[in-house]
Structure 1
């Protein structure tokens, strides 16, 4: 039965619905003591998980129970914020009499970081550079659990939920076929004129600027945020790397706020961003200091909240990680005697204050969940939208497909997840994506 469930999850192409998209059949094949539902949704403005937990609580709990049965876990934890009152009420009814508990989180950023959510809900410290399984835990996203229930029922992953917000007429959370273009998605929210505007895919802290609005949404797309191109957040995200380094050398005053507020440093990780900034300032430093960059989760607290000079230790860390990896240098083992900073509980970043610091207060509004079927007639399904190797197409140009048909599979000996047609139609082109078009409509 266990292997059958894992196989169904694999065949359905379930991946982590947020973050990097780790194939779920690989994650749940392990043994664990505790399964944690990451319902924190800590990125400002995004509204997907909190609404799914309220509207599909039974399915979320069912998915959690399936993962618990596969992994042999004796305890399930649903970790979510106290402000998600509708979700808490709905979930409490569903977990009655079950070995599952709700863990209430404060409204801080980045509560959804796996290292933080495991520590907050269990008191266990994941080793630096490690994964939750190192402390006998498995963490799953809310939408992932919903997809697991569908997978067991024989329904593959063909759609994804995402919040569309910012400078749109109707902020909303909707379900769209995977492969829908970003420009088409914005159109459903009532926005068509993108002149002098920029789009962030993901959340405002860790999301990236969209260079091509024709690019498709994927299994891991959770938000599209439309902002004016002169918005401070857009300016900071589009700052060239040479300017980031130049500013760091000239302006860093070694106040160490970036270190004192770093969520990973506060958990006892060997990372002190201010020391890396000092190294950049003087264009010299020892290898141990440089290797601190490996511990950076790139959450953005240092650049968007902590630094009073508007610098980006996060970007510096990312550059260092890239260069060290190119040189074949690996991170140090996790410190043996790690201790959590006693001031950690006083240095959590309040979401409301973060939203204000990001100049996003006017966009902090509801984005109601709308389950209607939106008319999408053209999709481009990326062959690589998960951790691992790109999938290999099993269809050809001209093939007729139905929604839910398997169209690509991961390499035999590689990690990956199957891909399925998200609309009925005909395969028009295959590049690094599979392009499918129905006989209706003409959106790009």
Structure 2
């Protein structure tokens, strides 16, 4: 039974829908005491998960029960914010009499950080550089569970749910075929003219600027936020790294606020961003200090809330971390058991304060789930939209495919995920993407 469920998940091409896209069939193939559903959705403006937990609560619970069976977990816990009352009411109807608890989180950032969620729910601290399984827990995303429930009904992953918000006439949450262009999805919100605008893929804190609005949405796309190019948030995200480093060297006053508010530091992890900033003034840095960057989650609390000088420890941490990895340097090991900071409960970042600091209050509007079955003419489905190796095409140029058909598979003996056609049509290109055109009748014509 366990192996059958894992194969269903694997064959359906399910990956973590709310993060980096780790293949779910690998993640759940473990023994765990608890399965925690991360429904915190703590990034401002994103409204996907809270609506799925309300409108599709039955399928979310069904997916959770499947993961509990696979892992042998004694309890499932759905962690979401108290302000998501409609979702709580819906979930309570489908969890009655089951070994599933609803855990109410406070409205703070980053409540949805995987390790923060585990501590809030279980008061267990995930070791530095470790995963929740180290403390007997599997954490999964809301839409991932929905995809598992769909897979049990014979439907592979072909679509993704995402929120379109920001400077758009009609914010909405919508289900679209994977491979639809960013520009096309944003147009569904009434914003077809993107001149003078920039788009963030993901939340305002951890999301990245979209370099080309013709690029496709993937299995992990959860939000598209449209803001003016002159918006301070966009200016900060597009600042050259050289400028960020130069400003840090000149303006960091070593106030330690970035450390005091760092969520991982407050969990007892060995990371002190202010010391990393200080090390920039040394030719080679301080080796042990630089290794602290391995424990940075890059949540952005240090730059958007903590720093009075508007510097970016997050960007600097990320750059140093990547350089260390490229040079084969690993973090220092430790047998110490982290202890949460005594002031942790008093240093949470209220979401409302974060919205004000980010300049997003005027865009804090409802983005209701649209009852719209959108069908693009063309989709560009990336062969790499997950952690692991790119998938290997199983189709040929000119081949006619149906929605849901396998078009690329996991390379042999590799970490990866299957990919399925998100629309019916003809394969007109095979490169780093598989392009399907619903109007073509065959060949690359």
Q: Which TM-score band applies after superposition, normalised by the shorter structure?
A: over 0.9
Q: Which residue of 1 aligns with 2:98?
A: 98
Q: Which residue of 1 aligns with 2:22?
A: 22
Does the alignment pair 1:181 with 2:181? yes
Is the Cα–Cα contact under 8 Å of residues 177 and 375 in structure 2 kept in the other structure? no
3-state DSSP of counterpart to 1:370: coil
Q: Which residue of 2 aligns with 1:255?
A: 255
Give the TM-score taking structure 1 as reference length: 0.98
3-state DSSP of counterpart to 1:90: helix
For structure 1, which segment, 279-288 or 125-134, has the greater mean C-alpha deviation from structure 2 after superposition?
Answer: 279-288
Q: Which residue of 1 aligns with 2:311?
A: 311
Matches within 5 A, 1:332-343: 332-343=332-343
State the distance in 2 between where 1:286 and 1:46 align: 38
1:286: Cα distance to partner? 2.1
Describe the superposition over 1:189-227 as per-residue Cα deviations: whole angstroms up to 9, x where unpaired.
111111111000000000000110100000000000000
Q: Which residue of 1 aligns with 2:277?
A: 277
Is the Cα–Cα contact under 8 Å of residues 126 and 135 in structure 1 kept in the other structure? yes
Q: Which residue of 2 aligns with 1:230?
A: 230
1:335: Cα distance to partner? 4.8
State the distance in 2 between where 1:195 and 1:327 align: 40
Q: Which residue of 1 aligns with 2:323?
A: 323
The gaps in structure 1 that reach 5 residues or longer are: none
Describe the superposition over 1:56-104 as per-residue Cα deviations: whole angstroms up to 9, x where unpaired.
1111111111100111001110000000000001111111111111110
State the distance in 2 between where 1:337 and 1:113 align: 20
Is the Cα–Cα contact under 8 Å of residues 14 and 23 in structure 1 kept in the other structure? yes
Describe the superposition over 1:40-71 as per-residue Cα deviations: whole angstroms up to 9, x where unpaired.
00111000000000001111111111100111
State the distance in 2 between where 1:119 and 1:15 align: 24
Describe the superposition over 1:242-278 as per-residue Cα deviations: whole angstroms up to 9, x where unpaired.
0011000000000000000000000000000000000
Q: 1:292 to 1:335 in 2, by over 3 A?
A: farther
State the distance in 2 between where 1:137 and 1:322 align: 28
Q: Which residue of 2 aligns with 1:152?
A: 152
Q: Which residue of 2 aligns with 1:2?
A: 2
**Structural RMSD (CA):** 0.9
Q: Which residue of 1 aligns with 2:70?
A: 70
Q: Which residue of 1 aligns with 2:133?
A: 133
Matched residues, number: 440
Is the Cα–Cα contact under 8 Å of residues 166 and 227 in structure 1 kept in the other structure? yes
The gaps in structure 2 that reach 5 residues or longer are: 441-445
Is the Cα–Cα contact under 8 Å of residues 270 and 335 in structure 1 kept in the other structure? no
Q: Which residue of 1 aligns with 2:443?
A: none
Give the TM-score taking structure 2 as reference length: 0.98
Is the Cα–Cα contact under 8 Å of residues 425 and 436 in structure 2 kept in the other structure? yes
Is the Cα–Cα contact under 8 Å of residues 378 and 435 in structure 2 kept in the other structure? yes
State the distance in 2 between where 1:67 and 1:439 align: 39
Is the Cα–Cα contact under 8 Å of residues 198 and 210 in structure 1 kept in the other structure? yes
Matches within 5 A, 1:289-304: 289-304=289-304
State the distance in 2 between where 1:155 and 1:161 align: 15
Q: Which residue of 2 aligns with 1:142?
A: 142
Is the Cα–Cα contact under 8 Å of residues 108 and 348 in structure 2 kept in the other structure? yes
3-state DSSP of counterpart to 1:369: coil
Does the alignment pair 1:239 with 2:239? yes
1:371: Cα distance to partner? 3.0
State the distance in 1 between where 2:217 and 2:30 align: 29
1:124: Cα distance to partner? 1.0
1:282: Cα distance to partner? 3.8
Q: Which residue of 1 aligns with 2:407?
A: 407
